[in-house]
Chains A and B, each alone.
Chain A
Amino acid sequence: MEYELIICFETHVELDTRSKLFCDCPVRYNASPNSAICPVCTGQPGALPVLNKKSVEYAVKAGLALNCSVNRLSRFARKNYFYPDLPKGYQISQYERPFCENGYLEIEGDDGAPYRVGIKRIHLEEDAGKLVHSSDSFDEADYSLVDYNRSSVPLLEIVTDHERNPMRSLTEAKAYLEKLKQTIQYVGISECAMEKGQLRCDVNISIREKGKKEFGNRAEIKNMSSFRFIMDALEYEIKRQKEIIESGKEVKQETRLFDEAKKITLPMRSKEDAPDYRYFPDPDLLEVALDEEFINRIMATMPELPDQKLAMIIDKYNIPKNDAITLTRDRAISEYFIAAIETCEDNRRLSNWIINDLFRYLNDASVSIAECPVKPEDMARLINLIVKGDLTEAIAKKVLAEMFTTCKGPDEIIKEKDLKPVADDSLIEAILDEVEKENPDAVSQIKAGDTKPVDFLLGQVMKKTKGKANPKIVREMMKDRFKV
Chain B
Amino acid sequence: MSKVEQYGREAAPARDREVEEELYARRQKIYPREVHGLFAGLRVTAVALLLGIFYGLPWITWSGRQAVLLDLPARKFYIFGLTLWPQDFLLLAFLLIIAALSLFFFTALAGRLWCGYACPQTVWTEIFLWMERLIEGDRQKQIKLDKAPRSFRKFRIKATKHTVWLIFSAFTGFTFVSYFTPARELAVRLAEFNLGPWETFWMIFYGFATYGNAGWMREQVCLYMCPYARFQSAMFDDDTLIVSYDEKRGEPRGPRRPSIDHRARGLGDCINCTLCVQVCPTGIDIRDGLQYQCISCSACIDACNDVMDKMGYPRGLIRYTTQNALQGKSTRVIRPRIIIYGLILLLFAGMFSWLLATRVPLQLDVIRDRNQLYRETGDMIENVYTLKILNMDNHPHEYRLFVNGEGIEHMRLITDRNPIRVSAGAVLDVPVRVRAGEEYLKHRSSRIRFRVSDVTNPDLQATEKARFLGPLP
A and B together in one complex? no
Q: List residues of B whose CB falls within 8 A of some A CB.
A: none
